[in-house]
Chains A and B, each alone.
Chain A
Amino acid sequence: MWQFFHKLGSPKWFYGIATRLMPWLLVFGLLCLGAGLVWGLAFAPKDYLQGNSYRIIFIHVPSAFLAQSVYIMMASAAVVTLVWRMKLADVFVKAVAPVGLVLTFISLFTGAVWGKPTWGTWWIWDARLTSMLILLFLYGGLIALDRAINDEKSAARAVAILVLVGVVNIPIIKYSVDWWNTLHQPATFKLTEKPSMPAEMWVPLLLSVIGLYLVFGWLACLRMQTEILIREQRTRWVQELFHVNGGAR
């Protein structure tokens, strides 16, 4: 068990696994995402109440879902960083924070654009929207904090602590539509209930959520590899990487 844990924390081991995994993640991710979006845009029936503007859901929900998921993953990694000082966990947090920032921005932007024809306004300071905006600032703050501290270990600890402080925002986002009166509609997918929309709508939505997850997996592997190479470029295994592949000579 401990040996496995140690192996999992090894940048060298992860680098190899990521190289093998990445083509699959990218191909299946783009396939699922492409199928879901084409289906949702052109073939799914229009909503009887919202008309065609509801088609924004096929990018809004996946990016909002991922934005929160990525934060939860970062929080789990932050615990590992603080408790076990595992290098790879900190590499993960640093690599995916900008991805989370972009996804949160996309969900806010598409939400605003969707709100205009549906609610008649781009923005209101309601619970769901405000808590998502706070998530955006949290991501931005994490990236800024990491850049502000030069020492790698202090930066890792500080960022991990801020990630954990920000976790309080996640249940607020999730339950904001139940706790407060809001314009925002309730959750699209619930684990315990059947979706409230017909299959021609939720199947493409599920496809794009899965697709975006896989694309995120590809991005995470790629960006973690970059971070690992920067940190470990002086170690022997990185140097040997090029000799074995015949890259250097």
Chain B
Amino acid sequence: MKIHEYQAKALMSEFGIPIPQGAVATSAAEVKKIAAELGGRVAIKAQVYAGGRGKAGGIKVAGSPEEAETLAAQMLGTRLVTHQTATEGVPVSKVLVEKAVSVQQELYLSIVVATANRMSVMMASEAGGMDIEEVARTSPEKILLEYIDRATGFQAFQGRKLAYGMNLSQNLIRPAANLMANLYRLFQAKDCSLAEINPLVVTTDGEIMALDAKLNFDDNALFRHSDIEQLHDVEQEDPLEVKANELGVKNYIKMDGNIGCLVNGAGLAMAVMDLITLAGGRPANFLDIGTVNNTDRVVAAFKVFTTDPSVKAILVNIFGGIARVDVIAQGIVEAHHQMDIPQPLVIRLAGTNVDEGKSILAESGIKFIEATNFLDAASKAVAAAKGERN
């Protein structure tokens, strides 16, 4: 799960990481007021779930409260399109207003879990302020890594190694090492999947602070962080994905095709998408129905399909394991009782309790196209989406 920069900065500040003075605003009038209180030059930063804001016009500097008001008015209520967003962009409903900082040096700092080593790792670089993947490609020697032992946590010596490694001056070594230790405390305490400060800056006054802040959280750990979960801004997500999520369909991703897919298992769902593409069609979504023990989630999936105007055919491909085919079949029947499903429906069932599932469908009398295997299912769905009879 993502959160906004201003929220990430508030959390960092709570954990003792210095951040610029500032406040969040939803109107240009508020921006003017905050800018006047801060005094001098201010930065106005669009709060969106996407990187690349600077180049896309989502970060502006104003010399006066009036200018801040004008710039904010141009930004608020628009949609920002960056290289990381879809073509329609993401809405800008909030801006962060911060006292402009005079920067002497830009650094990079982040923590992620290194899957190969199965440990958390702190990454630091003196090449801050730019795309870190670009730095990794062009000058990998400028990226320093410190793996963090789960039992000991991040130690002071590791902070010193990274701080000296970034060629910081002697008076900054201890503040930088402390900041790193605090970032690890935050990462661990809040179950982050990414904690990134880019850039981490040294100001001309010789202070070190987080000029930008990005925190992503492990969705699987949100059950123990209700404070974090409520920070989520659904306005930043695809509306169909939000609806799916509200209905309890968690693993749903909207795509640009016209075949609605209901599959159990992420790998099989991806394989079905691949197969549809090979058969000359395009999937309308990725959907892993997961472990189904009741029919609600199946009904919910059909609600999403019938809401999505791009869906011209529905493909159900279930290979029962932990999910039981009879429960899925019952869900399909219930969906037909609860709503009108105008799209042709192709169903392929196999695995745990398949015979029970097939007889439930047969006895229900609902109309569907039966497929015998999953290649057959994909080709029949592609034909159905094109309006061909099977």
Do A and B interact with each other, yes or no?
A: no
